Structure 1
Amino acid sequence: MFSISVGDVKSHVITLAAGFSVGFVLAKLLNGVPMFFKLTYRSKPVSTGNDKTNLQVAKAPPGDYKLVIGARQDLQMGKGKVAAQCCHAAVACFEDAQESQESVLEEWMEQGQRKIVVKVESEEQLCQLYNHAKSIGLICSLIEDAGRTQIAAGSKTVVGVGPGPASEIDKVMGHLKLY
């Protein structure tokens, strides 16, 4: 048979009350603090509405900026290898945008940093995509593998195009299938 003493009940009630109290205090203290490592990016001061000289320009619709990464299918890279190569392209494109097109980078960051990975069939197609993107002035990066794991050194693995206006990037990458 199961029995509970008065001392056990008091102990559980005290523990429960303490837990609620700590939770309540933490909620009040952390109200408005981003949780779970949510990253926010702000490059401009936020207007409080009191400053009449700080007028905001209308932003492009959400999703209007993106970064598209094309990964070669013919190399038969493992999933982890493809992920690593795509990360190399994303970082390289980000660095290029920081140096040459900061306003485009800011728009992309404010809109959620949309990234899309698509399939590229061959090295020839990869180079054509890179050259086309370069010729119309888009940020782009062609990644060559160091040859330490699955792929021969110098193999071109992925191309990153963007961040930039979705309409311009679609001229180069829009016909490709999702990875």
Structure 2
Amino acid sequence: MASRAESQLKRQHLTQTAADLVHRKGFSNTSLADIAAVAEIPLGSVHFYFPSKEQLASAIVDMRVAIIEQRLACWDALKNPRARLASLADVWLRDRESDTRHGCPVGSLCYELGKDGGALGQLAAKPFTLLLAWCTRQFTAMGLARSAHKHAVQLLCSLQGMGILANALKDPTVIETEAKQIKVWLRTLEAHAGAR
């Protein structure tokens, strides 16, 4: 019988395998059998850990949220809110080749889950609610409290939009160009806030 630690490791392995497959193939195109084959774990074990695809979706979203929370905690150590926000744009720059091939791993999953509404639709909002709140805090810290939420929405729309366009056009330079523009926009906002 597997220990609790072994069981947790197996569940994490299945979740990571599922997340990678879903990123490449989409949630609806990924079966539990696909995950079992790639993870080299019997299908019955996959069903044991994830009796339904909805539970699998929840585990993937929770994993993505945990990764985002770790990154945000690291960026919070930076003294400058503009630099924190620029670090978010750097994620797209770093992952531009993968995003060009498969789309943003968070955005594409949440877009697909959001179409279903219900419990899956609510799951889809989790990562973006977290990011939106964090970005709003950064713009507030920059001295833009009155427009912080508006700027946070604009930033997330730009980041997700450039990922979608790069994926559709299969052109990573879309991300490179737009990420540079985002950084220019952030410097302009910072200067404007400092001039008040």
Bin of the TM-score, shorter chain as denominator length:
under 0.3
Q: Which has the higher helix share?
A: 2
Q: Which has the higher strand share?
A: 1
Higher relative contact order (CA 8 A, sep 6+): 1
TM-score, normalization by structure 2: 0.22
